[in-house]
Structure 1
Amino acid sequence: MEIRAELTGVVWQVLVSIGEEIAGNQDVVILESMKMEIPIESERGGKVKEIKVQEGDFVNEGDVLVVVD
């Protein structure tokens, strides 16, 4: 499963690490857009396989942030 950015912004914080088991509805990344912090959450649980972004990266709506098995 790919977790994608819901809006355009800057990656403010990555909350997970590769290999970590996460739960459904768990926040994985926080984006900053227009001075607001927007948490992006996983739709379902699984193991974090890949993190495609780093803190400070600019992302567009639809960009893949995290890949979960």
Structure 2
Amino acid sequence: MAQIDVKTEITGNVWKLLVKENDTVSEGDTLMILESMKMEIPVLSPEDGIIKGLNVKEADTVTENSVVAIIEA
């Protein structure tokens, strides 16, 4: 099984987590929503798999290219 790092594309705050560890996700599912400059930006699953790790919690600040989740595909 491959391990995939899910990274952010922007700097912002984690507004809402929509998954938890061991959840099954499909490619394109929204994993979390970031807030940046009053805009909501979804972080999408790049592949089908199982969430093996969440590196953030709600209200955390992330920078561009931060690894926020790990998916086992």
TM-score, normalised on structure 2?
0.92
Structure 1 unaligned segments of length 5 or more: list them.
none
Q: Which amino acid aligns with 1:6?
A: E
Q: Which residue of 1 aligns with 2:56?
A: 53
Count of paired positions: 69
TM-score, normalised on structure 1?
0.98
Q: 1:2 aligns with which of 1, 5, 10?
A: 5
Identity of aligned residues (%): 38
| RMSD over equivalenced CA pairs, Å | 0.5
Deviation at 1:3, TM superposition (A): 0.5
Q: Which residue of 2 aligns with 1:64?
A: 67
Deviation at 1:12, TM superposition (A): 0.2
**Partner deviation per Cα, 1:1-48 (whole Å, 9 max, x = no partner):** 011111000000111010010000100010000000000101111000
Which portions of structure 1, spanning 4 or more consecutive aligned residues, are displaced by more than 4 angstroms?
none
Structure 2 unaligned segments of length 5 or more: list them.
none
